[in-house]
Every structure is written in C-alpha cells, then in structure tokens.
Amino acid sequence: MADSGTLLGHGLMSVGGAKGACWDAVGIDANGPNPFLARKFSTATMGNAFNSVGAPRARRFALVAAFVAHCTSAGGAADAADAPAPAPEKLQLITEFFDNEIATGKLPGVAVLIQQHGRPVYLKCFGVRDVTSQRPMTPDTIFALHSMTKPITSLAAMMLIDAGKLALDDPVSKYIPTFGNMQVGLEMTDAQGEATLKLVPAARQVTIMDLLRHTSGISYEYIGGEWVLKAYSQAHLFDGKFDNKEFAGRIAKLPLARQPGTLWRYGHSTDVLGRVIEIVSGETLYHFMKQHILDPLDMNHSKFVLHTPEELTRMAEPLPSDTVLVDARRERRANPEWESGGGGLVSTITDYARFAQMILNGGELDGTRYLSTSAFKDMTTDHVGPGSGVGRDYFYFPGDGFGFGYGLAVRTEPGEGKPPPPGSIGELKWDSGSGTYFGVDPKLDMIYILMAQTQNERARTRLVFKKLVYDAFAVGD
C-alpha cells in the first residue's frame, strides 16, 4: 500500500511503520510551542490508516490530496527562493528523537510539521492521542493550544486597529472603565523583616499597546512574587462560571505587578484584550475570530469548545502523570463560557499551519489579506527593545536574541549564547505551557510546528526540536 502515501507533483513519500496516520515529505521533488496553566508516532503509511476504516483506494488518494491542498499555498518572500532545502538524513534525526520520546514513555504522542515554500517537507505523527484509549496520533488530532492562542487573538486586535476601530494608544479604560484607576503593588519589608504590600497609583493608564506587548503589569499569578499569588488567590479569580466580561472585571480589581510600560511581564493581558475585541466588535471573541480569521483561513477545527463526540475522540490528552495539564483540562472543560484570548483555543496542526503560513506570507494567504503591509510590519517589529523603556527579567519568555512585537517574539540578534541559539534574524515564534510551539522563518521561507500535550517535558523537547529543524537546513546566524 506504499503508493497510498505518494502524490505526484507534491513530493509526498509514504514512510513505514505499524501504527499512526501521518507521513513525511522529505523533499519537494520526492528524492529522498496559559491562563489555565497559570492555575495550576510510532509512524505509519496513509494506507494503513485508511485501510483501518475500509477506505477504497480512490478515496485514499482523495484524502491525501485534500490534506496537501489544505496545507499547500504560495510561499513567502521571493528572496527566499534560493533558501537551502532540508537534508533528508537530518530530518531522519527528528524522527529518531521523537520515536525515542514515545518509546521511553516521556510523551504520549506528537505531531510535527515543517513546511517550506508553502509545501510540507516533513510531516509526521508519533504515538497516540491518548494513552487510555490508544487512539493513534493523526494530522487531524485536536490539541489545546494554551498560549499559542495569543498570536491569533493579537491578530484579531490588529485587524481592528488596521480598520481604524481601535488604537494602540487607547487606554483600556476607554472600553473597560474599571481599568481607569489602577494601583501597582510594591512588596516592602517592615521593621520586623516581614514582607508587606504597599499600593501606589499607576503612573499612567494601561493601553492597548501594553496589552499586545505584555507591558500592562497584569501578571500571571505564578510570576512576580508571593504577594501576586496571594492576591490572586484571595480574589477568587477563577471561581464559578465566568465569561470574558466577568473575568476582565475581576482582573481590574487587582493591583498591577509593575508600572505600565516598564517591564515585559507575562500574564492575562491577552485575556483582557479578548474582552476589548468583544466590546469594539459587538461580537463574542469566538464569533469575531470565526468570521474574520478562522473561516477565511479554513481553520475549521479551531474553536474554544468542542461539541460533538467525534471531536472529543480526536482530542490529544496529556499523560495522567502530567498533573498540571490534567487539572487545566478539567478546569477548561468545566467553564466553556470563558473564551480565553490568552489560552483557550484548541486546534490541529494542519489548521495552525494555515495561520503560520499567512504570517510567513506577510499577512496574506490564498489571495486574502488579513492585515495591511504596514500593520503587519508593526505587529512583527520589536517594541520592547532599546529605547522602549521596557525592562526584562528572569521571566522574559521570548528568550535570548528575541524582542517582542504584538503577540509574537521576533529575532533581532544572534543572542549571547556561545554558540548562538539556532535560527535566523527576523524569525517569529511563540509556544505554550502545554508543549505546542511554532516558528516562522522568512529567510528560509519556512514554518515549523510542534504539537504535543506535555507540561513536564515541553522545555526540553522544544529546544531539541528547534535545533534539529535548523540542523536539517544547516543554517544559523
């Protein structure tokens, strides 16, 4: 059945194995990374997968063609046309790494995609969606994106800014009045050496720009000191049923962790931004995303809530021992009313590839433009670098060599590591606490996506994966 994984003209090659339902393309010519978290592939040919449901040969070809058509689109920058192609023997090292992760029980399952010039050059699924059901990992497996929701919410806000309905320098209080008199918490030490909390007025209003670049002072409770954790706990921020309106109101009653505009601090800024989008658009966050982003991009499996039994069976689940994610999953499903712009979407690797390719193309895909060229440039330019007045500390998650735009980390320099971390100047990326990770490299006209559900192993696997990706292209700045 090997021919069931081959599609002439697309360079897809079936690869062997006993279980699963993915393939990888090792040459265009066929030669060859949350709010919920804050609270707490053996491989196969497509033929094997389709035989398991009794699909006829013609239907197998149709399904393969449909998948490639879903992922395939025009490439990005013209000056990347001569970018090196990945070496097949180096791509095999990615396979070997994740085969070992599954075999040793570190991960239940993973889906990986590398796409260059608008076409997959490597697509493979490993392991299972769920160790309890033993359902195999497939390209249509649904993953909780957690913080990889943020770039999509940020795009939604940028679309409103581009349309003149929202402005970067608008105070958040223009839309949510309770943000008008914010206070900032300062941890002090009293005469007895005990930590105390002093509240001082915010030096200025929190703006839409602050929400987009994480300089609002709105923290996650696990960042910023014990007083932040205590304040969030005492406020019962996540108690009961709530939606974006209620959640933004609760957040506005808490002190900021830092003065607005002075420090990059990860937190609930994008959740508040989601509520602003609702107010400006007059729609729920999901309905706005669905109309303006998800449906036009053909991201049909990306949403906040899964409704059907079939969708639920396609959901990737963490290992039972990954208790942070297990708890986050339970809390997310118990409160479907909260469309968290910071971490609530679920999606598939093929859906997210459409979003990533649109970013690689400069805000356009298949003839539809989502942002003007000027707005896209603004979104993907560093706004927390030298001269911005924005500080960085241990919790600066974009990492060495990266600045931050509006919802995306952007590589501005090689970094201080010796040797420098892999990648290219100008690359964009983001990830999540649940093991999802993506990057966009204009220099190579390439995107890469890792979909997993692991909090315990995410940091290690993300670093190894990115190195293996860039080793395959044999480039680095």
pLDDT tens readout for residues 261-280: 999 999 999 999 999 999 99
Q: What is the pLDDT of residue 79?
A: 53
* Cα within 13 Å of Cα(235), Cβ side: 19
CA angle 314, 319, 323 (to 5 degrees): 120
Sign (positive/negative) of CA torsion 63, 65, 69, 75?
A: positive
- If we measure between CA atoms, which residue out of 353, 368, 367 comes closest to residue 118? 353
- In percent, how much of the chain has pLDDT > 90? 73
User: pLDDT tens, 434-447?
Assistant: 999 999 999 999 99
Cα–Cα distance for residue pair 154/55, rounded to 1 Å: 41
Homologous superfamily of 155-283 in CATH? Answer: DD-peptidase/beta-lactamase superfamily (3.40.710.10)
Q: What is the pLDDT of residue 188?
A: 80
Q: What are phi and psi of 142, to 5 degrees?
A: -100, 130
| Domain map (residue ranges) of the chain | 2-140+287-371+410-473, 155-283
Cα–Cα distance for residue pair 347/324, rounded to 1 Å: 20
- If we measure between CA atoms, which residue out of 16, 28, 24, 1 comes closest to residue 445? 28
Longest CA–CA separation in the chain, Å: 80
Q: What are phi and psi of 403, to 5 degrees?
A: -95, -165
Which strands make up the sheet holding 402-404, listed edge to edge? 119-127, 109-116, 446-451, 437-441, 428-431, 409-411, 402-404
Same topology between domain 2-140+287-371+410-473 and domain 155-283: yes
Element (H, E) at 224: none
Q: What is the pLDDT of residue 64?
A: 45
For residue 402, count CB atoms less than 10 angstroms from its CB and return exposed for 0-12, middle for 13-18, buried for 19 or more. buried
Q: What is the pLDDT along the chain (477 residues), one digit of tens a residue?
A: 333 232 222 233 333 333 444 544 333 332 333 444 444 423 333 333 333 333 434 433 444 455 555 665 655 554 566 889 999 999 999 999 999 999 999 999 999 999 999 999 999 999 999 999 999 999 999 999 999 999 999 999 999 999 999 999 999 999 999 999 999 999 887 777 777 889 999 999 999 999 999 999 999 998 878 888 889 889 999 999 999 999 999 999 999 999 999 999 999 999 999 999 999 999 999 999 999 999 999 999 999 999 899 999 999 999 999 999 999 989 888 889 999 999 999 999 999 999 999 999 999 999 999 999 999 999 999 999 999 999 999 999 999 999 999 999 999 999 998 888 899 999 999 999 999 999 999 999 999 999 999 999 999 999 999 999 999 998 544
The number of helices, as runs of H, and strands, as runs of E, in the chain is 15, 13
Homologous superfamily of 2-140+287-371+410-473 in CATH? Answer: DD-peptidase/beta-lactamase superfamily (3.40.710.10)
Cα–Cα distance for residue pair 420/60, rounded to 1 Å: 44
Q: What are phi and psi of 365, to 5 degrees?
A: -155, 130
- If we measure between CA atoms, which residue out of 367, 442, 365 comes closest to residue 81? 442
Q: Amino acid letter at 91?
A: L
Query: Directed axis angle between helix 269-281 and helix 150-162, to 10°?
Result: 40
Q: Strands, DSSP E only, in 273-401?
A: 346-347, 364-365, 368-369
DSSP string, 419-443: SPPSS-TT-EEEE-TTS-EEEEETT
Q: What is the pLDDT of residue 192?
A: 74
Q: What is the pLDDT of residue 224?
A: 77
Element (H, E) at 189: strand 183-189
Q: What is the pLDDT of residue 49?
A: 34
Torsion angle defined by CA atoms of residues 430, 434, 435 and 436, in that order, rounded to the nearest 10 degrees? -50
